[in-house]
Structure 1
Amino acid sequence: MMMKPMLLTAYDELPSTKDWIYEVKYDGFRCIIHWDKTGIQIMSRNEKDLTNFYPEIITFSEKAKDKIYPFLPLTLDGEICHLINNYKSNFSVVQTRGRMRNEDVILNSANKFPCNLIVFDLIRYKGLDLSDYVLNERKALLKSLFEAIDFSTTIDYEKKGHIQLIDVFQNDQLAMDAVKNHRGEGVVAKHQSSTWDSGVRTTKWLKVKNWCYVTVILTKYDQENGYFHGSIYREDQLIEITVFKHGFSEQEFQTLVTFFKRNGRQVTSETWEMDPSICVDIACIDFDGKKLREPRFSKFRFDLQPEFVNWKTMIRQLNPIPEKVQITHPDKPIWPKLNIDKDDYLYYLQH
């Protein structure tokens, strides 16, 4: 049975009525899991077979071979994650492992960087199609299934390579606070009456991102694709960390294009470069070591001078201290000879 996951609709705020439940949005590979008497098969949202890329999940599933047999065939909806805490997955690990081809490399990576399979929906149960059942009914059956086969009914990131049931929150603020405090990707709100529709984008499953805001210096405009380039200083050198074009109003976009063409240097027929002068805030979900992920324009920062937009500032913006924690004098030297201040030490403690 081939099917594609039901898709989420992006929203700015979580609904907060009693008709909704809330789950962590993990940054991994969305997948459909088919499980019959021959074993488990993990299919990506684009119907690519991911099963052999994550052998630790196959091994774990085989532990339940006898207990799960009465419930087969099953179809589950879930996410492959590399958990670094109970609320955050490292996408780059999941993505890298999903591109491997050599069997020995795959097995070695499974030992060094094990992934978990987080399950959040039940589509087929004992061969019965549950897609027309409401979410509450599917959730109840899913939890009873996990209890029957002795799989964890809550997330524990220390249990590597496990198949686990996602946690459900009844309160939207509790869910978002937990995600923010652990630097997770976001929260999903699901209407309790929602059915499951393959490949459909629904307004009964909503996603709200936990955006980080990173300040960059605009350095380049490419007219061919409409993208602006943003950089920061690191050791007195400008390094590019983002290219983006979304998030602007039409007026903001056209004003910025005009500014580049009037004040920048035209280096090709389609591109203009500009010396550091304009700073903007970029909304993103993470930094992969080279580029901001899912970047979009947030606002202009006319209050900032470009020389203050640097690597250290970016790291702090990506890893904010919780609002309830009050910090005084973050630039106070702790180990002057090593050029380490209080903020450096706090960042170390966060990790």
Structure 2
Amino acid sequence: MPVPRPMLATKTDAVPVGEEWSHEVKWDGVRILADVADGRVRLWSRNGNDVTVAWPDVALPHEGLVPGSARPRDLLVDGEIIALNDRGLPDFRVLQDRMHVRRASTATRLAAGLPATYMVFDLLRVDGEDLTDLPLVERRARLAGLDLAPWQVPEPYDDGQMLLEATRAQGLEGVVSKRLSSRYTFDARSPHWRKLAHRHRRSYVVGGWRPQEGTSDRLAALLVGEPTADGLVYRGRVGSGIGGKVSRRLTEAVAGLTRASSPFADEVPRVDAAGTTWVEPVLVVDVDTHGVGYERLRQPSYRGLREDLDPADLEGQS
């Protein structure tokens, strides 16, 4: 068969309602199709690349993949590989050191220190039978009847709004809603699968700014941090949302605040520090970002200058 590529979800602004929809946690991980045949597991990335060698702790034969017969089980499943950060949350960035590994010895070493978990949410083939033309509700029922340990099969939910609020409160990435009657189409973006990622707004202290590439004075990004007991801890660079009018307003705000050294208590990555003008940490801005509890902001977007707040007001913000 051709190299499989997974079906993708369409972005939405609201969780769909109705009995024809089912809802799942949107995992912040790496999308993987796992093909089990002849006692061998092969892992395919979203782009159709064979990434089996990178995930030895996922791509291993085990009893759950072999039925009580002499014939090895034949399966194709869809899911997400995740790993937890130090706050116990699935975090795509934790996986980045493992994603592009092509040496087996390196992958084995990384797996020992950074174990991954495969969350399986769809069954596409079993024992030679193609299930992709079956409705999702039937594929899910067949999946629930399999023992895939140590892989995990997360439970779907009927109440999408409840799941949306729960994932927001827990700092998870969001929700994927799927029509129970939906068929599975490889390498397609389906309107019958809809994804909604949370945006969280918090306030941060400005510690520096960077100009637009090719200029020296056109403010294009802010470096922001979070006040802690150890000082101002760097959280990331924010460029999205800073257009012409906003850039001019921020340029006026940082005028006269330049300092010679970084105000951050920790080291700013070189890629962010290069070309930065450091400023006294007195300005507060609001930033929208995906997820909470991460060391660095994820897909941050500037929302506004908070002239009503100073850095001391942010200490202990949840």
1:253 — aligned with what? 243
Aligned length in residues: 292
| Equivalent residues of 1:285, 1:294 under 8 A apart | no
The residue matched to 2:243 in structure 1 has which SS? helix
Give per-residue Cα distances to partners, 1:68-120, cap 9 Å, x unaligned.
876853221111112579x9423333222324455444334433432221111
Match of 1:242 in 2: 236
Shift of 1:293: 1.5
Q: 1:199-218 counterparts in 2 under 5 A? A: 199-218=187-206
Cα distance in structure 1, aligned partners of 2:148 and 2:129? 21
CA RMSD of aligned residues (A): 3.4
Amino acid at match of 2:290: C
Matched, 1:281 2:287: yes
CA distance in 2, matches of 1:236, 1:284: 25
Q: Percent identity?
A: 25
Partners of 1:28 and 1:108 lie apart in 2 by 20
Corresponding residue for residue 229 of structure 1: 222
- Structure 1 residue runs without a partner (length 5+): 153-161, 317-351
Name the structure 2 match of 1:159.
Answer: none
Question: Cα–Cα, structure 1 residues 101 and 132, in superposed 2: closer, same or farther, change >3 Å?
Answer: closer
- 1:157 is aligned to none
2:308 to 287, 292, 303: 303
The amino acid that maps onto 2:173 is: E
Please give the TM-score of this superposition, normalised by the length of structure 2. Answer: 0.76
Asked whether 1:165 is paired with 2:156, we answer no
Cα–Cα, structure 1 residues 199 and 302, in superposed 2: closer, same or farther, change >3 Å? Answer: farther
Structure 2 unaligned spans of 5+: 259-274
Distance 1:296 1:198, change over 3 A: farther
Structure 1 residues 202-247: Cα deviation after superposition (integer angstroms, max 9, x where no partner): 222112223333312344253239842231245686554222343x
Q: Does the 8 Å CA contact 1:61/1:163 hold for their aligned counterparts?
A: no
Distance 1:238 1:178 in 2: 30
Q: 1:122 maps to which residue?
A: 123
Correspondence 1:4-83 to 2 at 5 A: 4-59=5-60, 61=62, 64-67=65-68, 72-83=73-84
Partner Cα distance (2:3, 2:198) in 1: 32
Alignment pair present for 1:220 and 2:209: yes
Deviations 1:136-156 (A, max 9, x none): 122222223x1xxx335xxxx
Question: 1:261-284 CA deviation, whole Å, 9 max, x = no partner?
Answer: 4555599xx987765435223323
Cα separation, partners in 2 of 1:181 and 1:256, compared to 1, 3 Å: closer
Partner of 2:185: 197
**What is the alpha-carbon distance in structure 1 between the residues aligned to residue 27 and residue 252 of structure 2?**
43
